[in-house]
Amino acid sequence: MMESVLKINGLTKRYGRLTAVDSLNLEIPKGTVFGLLGPNGSGKSTTLGMVLGVVNPSGGSFEWLSQGSGHKVRRRIGAIIENPSFYHYLTAYENLRVVCRIKKVDISRIETVLKRVSLFERKNDAFSTFSLGMKQRLAIASALLPDPEVMILDEPTNGLDPEGIAEIRELIQSLAEDGRTIVLASHLLDEVQKICSHFCVLNRGKKVYQGSVEELLNSSASLKLSAQNSNELGRLLRESAQVEQVLQVDSYFKVKLNQGATSGTLNKELIESGIVLSELAIDSNSLEKKFLEILNTQAR
């Protein structure tokens, strides 16, 4: 069983009659890039605000790194929750020096983190001259100053152009390779699919799904198969131990595989039985497709 960096038990936040987060139970495994997904108003930002101590819960509890929820353990967590607040007339280096004073971090860390986010060459340039992507990288550098074990990023690619999104994606992946746990809230499902190893889905303040990105995408992967001898192909597919479900659509078969089976192992089995496929296509899933299926299932 994987060690957890964050355990949430029955966490709830009410604003009058509105329940923004409703009895949330969640564990985030150590060493993962964990995606927090959900439509607008699902409770993502409120949840992050509560576990970072900036929003007071109405009920429930949470624990960081098996050490409670106090100020001391939160120093081991770096976070970017809202748009980064820097002085526009100060340089990158000067802005980080201000943050060092606030966080009581030695200024020797500034050059290290600027190099880490590829801004060292721009350290003496004013913040006002930075692109949106550079501003976001400086915000990540600021969160990295205390050398945290966990990084929380709320919509880190929001408003960025494709080049900026790619830069932040690569930076997040490299931070994860350092051994840090990354918690990422985002509505850009394609980016989450590229970055995250695990995720959960929130809807109306409730958790409706949690699991591995890879397992979810593979769990319902389907194949499109056809052969000249359609009747024989259908019989073999229905008898195969590798196949969970077979559906005939016109002249081809749509096949869902059992866990552990692959298109290659099924093709080999069919060849050995005398069937040469004229078509073998993988119906690739996307996280967006599965996300919508999860929400639609819950709505029924």
pLDDT tens for 41-84 read 899 999 999 999 999 999 999 999 988 888 888 889 999 987 77
220-253 b/e (C-beta count within 10 Å ≥ 16 → b): ebbbebbbeebeebeebbeebebbeebeeeeebb
* Global confidence as pTM: 0.78
Q: How confident is the model at residue 258 (pLDDT cuts 50, 70, 90)?
A: confident
From the list 187, 212, 190, the residue with the least C-alpha distance to 199 is: 212
221-284: CATH superfamily: VP9 protein domain (3.30.70.2070)
The H-or-E segment that residue 137 falls in is helix 132-144
Given a contact cutoff of 8 angstroms between Cβ atoms, the answer to whether 196 and 33 are in contact is yes
pLDDT tens for 191-236 read 888 899 999 999 999 999 898 887 777 665 678 899 999 999 999 9
- The domain segmentation of the chain, as residue ranges, is 4-216, 221-284
Tokens at residue 290, please?
Answer: 């599965």
Instruction: Give the architecture (CATH level 2) of 4-216.
Output: 3-Layer(aba) Sandwich (3.40)
From the list 191, 114, 207, the residue with the least C-alpha distance to 155 is: 191
Return the pLDDT at 21: 96
The H-or-E segment that residue 185 falls in is strand 181-185
**Bridge partners, 196 (sequence order):** none
Query: What does the alpha-carbon distance between residue 298 and residue 243 come to, in Å, rounded to a whole number?
Result: 27
Out of 98-107, 138-147, 287-296, pick the least confident.
Answer: 287-296
Query: What does the alpha-carbon distance between residue 114 and residue 123 come to, in Å, rounded to a whole number?
Result: 7
The amino acid sitting at 228 is: Q
Q: How confident is the model at residue 261 (pLDDT cuts 50, 70, 90)?
A: confident
Q: How confident is the model at residue 174 (pLDDT cuts 50, 70, 90)?
A: very high
